[in-house]
Amino acid sequence: MTVTLRAQLQAEWFRRLESLGRALTGEAMLDCASLCTGRCCPHAAMATREPAYTVSPVAIMLPFEMEYIIAQTGVAPGHFRRTPAEIAPGVMVEIGSFDIEKPCPFLTDDFRCRGYDFRPLDCRSFPLTPVFGANGELTFRLGAGCPSLGTFLPAYQARLKTVWRELLPHLSADYRALYNRL
Ligand code: SF4
Ligand code: SF4
């Protein structure tokens, strides 16, 4: 892989990440503040000692989303778990994630997100999560255990699905397999 190709792909992903942030402004109508203790944010269940309420033990980033979040927020690179994936033929990158072994650096003591404007798409989507099929199909599921499922705005869910469908052609088979595995 040449440095130029990697830099080109990173620039493309940074543009995509900026535009999906613009596409997903507005209210999802989740009632996180009154109904929940951040149980979809890695480490929250450990902090509350209520593992039964963990509904999402990992937040997985898109290609170059870790680098984008670091650039936008200045968060220390050491907070991310990294897993290699081939995102284009011959192009290996590290995919970032937050999981229960590495607490999310943005989670506050009162279960708020101090990196809200730049949180990963995975966090923006929850309780909706994509499921990548072996033949390139994309389906979705809703996270059981989220107490806000009843108010989760259908129009917002539709926007999320559109965002994921538009990203699908840019997500390699290796990335999709990694996402499903984590
Ligand atoms: S999305 Fe659901 S599980 Fe996550 S903090 Fe909000 S109410 Fe809780
Ligand atoms: S980035 Fe924010 S929403 Fe995502 S896991 Fe961390 S605290 Fe939760």
The string of pLDDT tens digits covering residues 39-87 is: 888 766 555 555 555 666 789 999 999 999 999 999 999 999 999 999 9
Which residue's CA is the nearest one to ligand 1's atom 5?
38
Which ligand 1 atom lies nearest to the CA of residue 31? 7
Q: Which long-range contacts (CB under 8 A, 24 or more apart) does 80-85 make?
A: 83/178, 83/182, 85/172, 85/174, 85/175, 85/178
Closest ligand to Cα 113: 2
Q: What mean pLDDT comes out for the span 113-131?
A: 94
Token digits of residue 12 = 């493309």
In which domain, by residue range, is 98 found? Answer: 3-181
Is 113 near ligand 2, meaning CB less than 6 Å away?
yes
> How many structural domains compose the chain?
1
Q: What is the per-residue pLDDT for 145?
A: 81
The string of pLDDT tens digits covering residues 125-155 is: 999 999 999 999 999 999 878 889 999 999 9
Is 146 near ligand 1, meaning CB less than 6 Å away?
yes
Is 124 near ligand 1, meaning CB less than 6 Å away?
no
Task: Please tell me whether the overall predicted TM-score, pTM, comes out greater than 0.85 for this model.
Answer: yes
Token digits of residue 149 = 């499922």
